[in-house]
Amino acid sequence: MNLDQAQRNKVVEWIGQGLKLSEIQNRLITEFGLTVTYMEVRFLVDDLKLTPKDPEPVKPPPAPVAPAAPTALPAAAAAPLSPLSPPLAAKPGGVAVSVDQLARPGTVVSGKVTFTDGNTADWYLDQMGRLGLAPQKQGYRPPAADVQQFQAALDAELSRMGM
């Protein structure tokens, strides 16, 4: 491909702006009327001894500020859950969640939950990211407030584990 010095300088400028090779190919076609293949653009960039820039990673939004913790926690509530630990006894108004060391077959992650009324259930996340509950007591449906607490506790526990 024969480019004059002005066209080569323009390609250098585009690389400096962080354009991808496909974008440079499109600009060569639209601005200079050159019909070039992607491979020819790669060779051109290599001939000019240029290196395309990697796109800057997207920064995650800042984490929300956690509410202030109570000054004194019971010893059981202060101990973090480990993947091997049994669920903590549900404190009044609270839901206890544990994560199994080995996930149930057909799931990504699984564990147990104890609701505020003392009923327990197995929970799991499948490969599609769907959350499921299998209560020990057939036909049991936890109160809506417990379900919200369960989801928040599960999110916190999985985040703590790096999942």
- The pLDDT tens digits of the residues spanning 83-123 come to 444 444 444 558 889 988 888 888 889 999 998 888 999 99
pLDDT of residue 110: 92
pLDDT confidence of residue 129 = 83
* Confidence (pLDDT) at 113: 92
Here the contacts of 42-48 (C-beta below 8 Å, separation 24 or greater) are: 43/1, 44/1, 44/3, 44/11, 45/11, 45/15, 45/21, 48/8, 48/11, 48/12, 48/15
CB 8 within 8 A of CB 48: yes
What residues pair up with 122 in beta bridges, in sequence order?
A: 112, 134
Question: Average of pLDDT values for 124-134?
Answer: 87
- Which of 91, 128, 93, 88 is closest to 111 using CA atoms? 88
For 31-86, the pLDDT digits (tens) are 888 888 888 888 888 888 877 776 666 667 776 655 544 444 333 333 344 444 44
**pLDDT interval class at 1 (50, 70, 90):** low
Q: Which residue has the tokens 């929970």?
A: 123
Q: From CA 149, how far away is CA 83, in angstroms rounded?
A: 19
Quote the pLDDT of residue 144: 86
Rounded distance, CA 121 to CA 142, Å?
Answer: 9
For the entire predicted model, the pTM comes to: 0.44
Tell me, what's the pLDDT at 46? 85
